[in-house]
Structure 1
């Protein structure tokens, strides 16, 4: 296992703390290349057992992307499915530890999943990603599918370069990765099961978080 791939499961004691933000983007140089090495991370799945279960995660060798795969993350409705299963939420806390002199922000998230929706049913993906001081950011609509639909789907959530929020230089904060899947039976045949999913055995159903990097002032 390389230094950049070191992983640790940890529940962060300060995940509910809210601290003041002091314009992190202004405290670093324009976005540039990632650090040459020495990036580590910690991750904790904060929602379960009725939310999602992670099956794997990895930080890319160049530290520009973090990928999460799921063993269970699925919303379903119809056909006698329990009402509690129509809406599922996944919240993961990620702490990136950059080497001295670097900071990062999230610039894009790519989602891949599958759906099997009966005619008249709908499936939706909503998401937000934030540092603790931005916990009031709304959950945004990322994708809406209308049945009949059967197959894989992809969706992207991208932030403009000048709107990327960076971790303040010299601090380590949790980046919360929040997503929601929901299925509404709508006018579909109530005996038909409709599913919206980001879990799968083939590993192609996942979320990939892309980072922008900056150097901090000396």
Structure 2
């Protein structure tokens, strides 16, 4: 049973579904749209990942996963304790613009027995060194996990190079049954099942010229 809300945050703790950008933002340029170029891994496949702009904001990109879970114990198989997904996104936009990611907000659900734990890792990058964030949740736990980050300074915002097209998002879920009762299932999911925005990327724009 889903009981309450527990918030786990990286760098900044928060519980709002919409996060505040590190610098002032404008709405996305006219004619901008998103395409999932690739989605593969044990936790996802073509058609199970969707990317779109949040309709109630002018600067929030959403990524939605379907069936991305990991589990251990109970009737689970050993290979199900780890699940991953690699996504390549292209933002089609006027050539004069590029964008940066000023904040990220991730949510999912976990049901963990006492003695079990789960880890979520998410990485995004355009090229070079990626921005990586990890959170471990320990059982007993039966609630929503939340992982939120924004750079402490605008100088640390990750920008898409003007000559590059793709944003890469790699995510991983792991469950370790640990000392929990092996007959009881522990699992973690990359979505909350609530229909709310679960994976938000707050964007800012600048001119390439």
**TM-score per shorter chain, which class?**
0.7 to 0.9
Matched, 1:44 2:46: no
Q: Say which of 53, 56, 67 aligns to 1:59.
A: 53
Shift of the alpha carbon at 1:205?
6.7
Matched, 1:144 2:136: yes
Cα distance in 2, alignment partners of residues 182 and 189 from structure 1: 18
Matched, 1:204 2:196: yes
8 A Cα contact 1:91 1:178, kept in partner? yes
- Structure 1 residues 205 and 80, CA gap change in structure 2 (3 angstroms): farther
Matched, 1:216 2:208: yes
Gapped runs of 5+ residues in structure 2?
1-22
Q: Say which of 107, 115, 118 aligns to 2:110.
A: 115
The 3-state SS of whatever aligns with 1:190 is coil
Q: Say which of 72, 76, 85 aligns to 2:71.
A: 76
- Structure 1 residues 45 and 71, CA gap change in structure 2 (3 angstroms): same
- Structure 1 residues 151 and 111, CA gap change in structure 2 (3 angstroms): same
Q: TM-score, normalised by structure 1?
A: 0.74
Shift of the alpha carbon at 1:36?
4.2
> Which structure has the larger Rg?
1
The Cα RMSD (Å) is: 2.3
After superposition, the C-alpha distances for 1:100-134 in whole angstroms (9 at most, x for unaligned) are 42110122211111110000000111111001x32
Q: How does 1:1-218 map to 2 (within 5 A)?
A: 33-48=26-41, 50-52=42-44, 54=48, 56-61=50-55, 64-131=59-126, 133-134=127-128, 137=130, 139-141=132-134, 143-160=135-152, 161-169=154-162, 171-199=163-191, 201-204=193-196, 206-217=198-209
Deviates more, 1:184-193 or 1:30-39: 30-39
Q: After the TM superposition, which segments of 4 or more aligned residues of structure 1 sit over 6 Å from their partners?
A: none
- Structure 1 residues 100 and 39, CA gap change in structure 2 (3 angstroms): same
Cα distance in 1, alignment partners of residues 107 and 43 from structure 2: 17
The 3-state SS of whatever aligns with 1:96 is strand
Q: Aligned pair count?
A: 183
Higher helix share: 1
After superposition, the C-alpha distances for 1:2-28 in whole angstroms (9 at most, x for unaligned) are xxxxxxxxxxxxxxxxxxxxxxxxxxx
Gapped runs of 5+ residues in structure 1?
1-29
After superposition, the C-alpha distances for 1:57-95 in whole angstroms (9 at most, x for unaligned) are 312356522112222011100113111111111211111
The 3-state SS of whatever aligns with 2:160 is coil
8 A Cα contact 1:35 1:102, kept in partner? no
